[in-house]
Structure 1
């Protein structure tokens, strides 16, 4: 029986914020899977949580996206078997995927896609759930092929992890997609993901969108710092339209221009459901849909970069690179 595991934990040293040590394996809960971790996706939240933990002197095992093999089952787990390969996006309150083994609530996991590598699968859960919940839970779009045919979506920061999968999901839903990108390589990437139109979010894009005959838009997703884009969003959104955001603003937002359009501003935070124990199983069901979409080639992985090893310096550098905003798609750590 496994009692201790190797894991990367946060330290109180800003210069060396991660350390590989042995820690006790938490007790298996009745709804838990014990997963031998094979790969872990790196997200902006990793560096943010690392900085908070170091400042607070807290010991945390980070890593949220994960893919691995089920090697243990809680007594109330009915939908998985030993040996299943699963993927999931984890929880803020539990030991993360930067470890040899991880306990995962079975309700937020699904069987991993069979047609792609473990690292390709590990790139997807957190960003897909963010895109899925924004479109389905907030924008009230039914998750069926072509269910949003005739609707128009503008995505600010289309080349990031969430934007890359949101473009694909929106196209599966039948939407016309405008995505923003600011460099030649990111323009090419969002076009590869399926965007119908590309704009530069560093320009004054409101007159451009209007001149292209693409305003108003039914839905608008701000997948970056919202302050520079909130007034443009209010200008471009359709009456009774939905504006979604995923990044906490540093200052109050000017939202008064939305009022006369009766437009809504929706906040998406992928961990909100597990933090509040609210409709937790919906995340496992969403990932089951993602597995089907990947295995039927309706959605492709957003994996673009790989690193190897459960190593403190390797993972720190990967977290910092993702936090810099310079990674297109997703970076994944493979634990060989």
Structure 2
């Protein structure tokens, strides 16, 4: 099969940072589906994994979002059959979706929404899982929850689907979303944000202007040096859920008001082979249902065509710029 491979960490402008390669077709294990990938998105995790990679003995295929068609199934697969259209977010410890074919455990695969193209669908799995687990597993929100949520990183892939999930599944919630310009503000408000603030300016003052009594919960994609600010904005017993790998986080700032800090990594269930891995299959199907009835839309904003290393390098450049809104997807 053809694949776009990583062999060593290099700047994305280096033509060797991602290369075209011919690799053996993979063979499904007992719980695997073998999927013909039709589209794959590029996430910040792809950029980080590529840039930090040592020189590798074997080519590595990145890609953690995909949509495609099942071509074969393992001996114990019960959820899917050959010909099914599916979407998924893969694993850090397996080959990824930047290839013709990919093996994915059926328990982290969902049915592709019938109303979306493959490119539109590929934008959502990783971010939808991250947003869902953040809101409902980590923060413990329910359909009857009331209060306010600050979304830091609201224009990114996770923030863009999170705003929609809150709007549709937690109707009593007010959301304050970060947006650094008028176009970004229009974007977050179109997805359900109650108010918009500029995180490049005085985030605390603007947030408290929107929510004078403070916010009840914070989602953070940009946490470095923010713990004291978050503690100040959060009400007593409030909670933060963060998805970045911030090193400068002083959690002592949260203690006076008995606030809590949660980490979210959507790869935990598949990498740790937890007994509830199938929850990711279930929530992907739940999101597919929301999409097909028009309650949630794809967050793709940039679609690149060309199943080769040059196109994936271009997609990495977009994401690495830090200025993308929504998701970047590569399609065949």
For Structure 1 versus Structure 2, the TM-score category normalised by the shorter chain is over 0.9
Distance 1:154 1:110, change over 3 A: same
Query: Does the CA-based 8 Å contact 1:156-1:180 persist in structure 2?
Result: yes
**Residue 239 (1) aligns with residue 236 (2):** yes
The equivalent of 1:270 in structure 2 is: 266
Distance 1:42 1:11, change over 3 A: same
Equivalent runs, 1:202-281 vs 2, <5 Å: 202-224=200-222, 226-251=223-248, 253-278=249-274, 279-281=276-278
Give the alignment partner of residue 196 of structure 1, picking from 194, 197, 201. Answer: 194
Please give the per-residue CA displacement for 1:202-255, whole angstroms capped at 9, x wherever unaligned. 11122233233443211101112x12422111011121111011111133x122
Equivalent runs, 1:1-336 vs 2, <5 Å: 5-12=1-8, 14=10, 15=14, 16-55=16-55, 59-142=59-142, 146-148=143-145, 150-172=146-168, 173-174=170-171, 175-224=173-222, 226-251=223-248, 253-278=249-274, 279-335=276-332
Query: Does the CA-based 8 Å contact 2:6-2:61 persist in structure 1?
Result: yes
**Alpha-carbon distance, 1:30 to partner:** 0.6
Query: Does the CA-based 8 Å contact 2:9-2:53 persist in structure 1?
Result: no
Question: C-alpha separation between the residues in 2 aligned to 1:216 and 1:57?
Answer: 51
Moved more, 210-219 or 89-98: 210-219
Question: C-alpha separation between the residues in 1 aligned to 2:54 and 2:5?
Answer: 10
**Structure 1 gap ranges (5+):** none
Moved more, 6-15 or 69-78: 6-15
Please give the per-residue CA displacement for 1:137-186, whole angstroms capped at 9, x wherever unaligned. 111123xxx332x2211101110111101111111111111101112221
Instruction: Find the residue that maps to 2:52 and give its secondary structure.
Output: helix
Query: Does the CA-based 8 Å contact 2:32-2:106 persist in structure 1?
Result: yes
**Alpha-carbon distance, 1:288 to partner:** 0.7
**Structure 2 gap ranges (5+):** none
Query: Does the CA-based 8 Å contact 1:10-1:54 persist in structure 2?
Result: no
Instruction: Find the residue that maps to 1:24 and give its secondary structure.
Output: coil
TM-score under structure 1 normalisation?
0.93
Q: CA RMSD in A?
A: 1.5
Question: C-alpha separation between the residues in 2 aligned to 1:217 and 1:94?
Answer: 39
TM-score under structure 2 normalisation?
0.94
Query: Does the CA-based 8 Å contact 2:303-2:329 persist in structure 1?
Result: yes
Question: C-alpha separation between the residues in 2 aligned to 1:213 and 1:67?
Answer: 39
